[in-house]
Amino acid sequence: MNINMLYYLGSKFSSNSFTVNSISLTAEIDDKGKTDAMKLLEGQYESFTFPIVFKHVSGKNHCDLIGTGWGILYLISDRMKKLLEENNLTGWKSFPVEIVDNKGEKIQEVYHGFSIVGRSGSINYKKSEIIEKRLVPNGPLSKYYKGLHPGMENWDGSDFFLPEKHWGIIVTQKAKDILTERQMKNLVFQNLAEIEIGVNAILKN
């Protein structure tokens, strides 16, 4: 699978979009180096009691993909869940959530936690092009990796997947086309061939 046919999936940053924050999830790192958000994203549910409760914090427009206050964790609408099921898209599963308003009352719109269980090998930055850019006019040149190359030799063939030790959601061309054609709201796709990541940011990690 060529990276020109693979995409990062994320949400738009809009003040009008319905957004929630978790009430019970913590940022503590367990003995395996995982936070609650990482475990839920990866579909590791053993340590959780469901439903996971979220509180509405901003926005009124109920979209199909909504942020949770954790950059890697999303909720999906019932409409999007049904679309994924109807089209037999693979590599994901959902978990029960409950969303309450400022008064603690449950909202009527149905959402589901979104986990990614498809996998590939780790990102290989040696395959990326190295480019130089100035962030500001007359500023210093900085080096960037252009193009994100998951280890597709170890890809399980899923439409939604996470590379090893990486928490950015990647989708296939098939999944992107279906989600786009059905006009799922608040989704953003970034082609892996166009992604740029600072070299220093990777070296520090």
Residue with tokens 């009124």: 60
* Bond prior to 51 in cis (omega within 30° of 0): yes
pLDDT in the model for residue 16: 85
What is the C-alpha separation between 192 and 3, in angstroms, rounded?
6
CA atoms of 186 and 188, how far apart (whole Å): 7
Query: How many percent of the chain have pLDDT more than 70?
Result: 99
205: Cα within 13 Å, side-chain hemisphere = 9
C-alpha distances in angstroms, 43 versus 93, 119, 190, 192? 7, 12, 23, 23
pLDDT one digit per residue (tens) for the chain, 205 residues: 899 999 999 998 777 889 999 988 999 999 988 999 999 999 999 999 999 999 999 998 899 999 999 999 999 999 999 999 999 999 999 999 999 988 889 998 899 999 999 999 999 999 999 999 888 888 889 999 999 999 999 999 999 999 999 999 999 999 999 999 999 999 999 999 999 999 987 865 6
* Domain boundary assignment for the chain: 3-120+158-189
Cβ atoms 112, 78 nearer than 8 A: yes
Global confidence as pTM: 0.94
**Spatial separation of the C-alpha atoms in residues 75 and 64, rounded to whole Å:** 8
pLDDT in the model for residue 83: 98
* C-alpha to C-alpha distance for 166 and 72, rounded to whole angstroms: 10
Each residue's pLDDT tens digit, 101-133? 888 899 988 999 999 999 999 999 999 999 998
Q: What is the pLDDT of residue 32?
A: 87
Summarize the chain as % helix, strand, coil (round to 5): 20, 35, 45
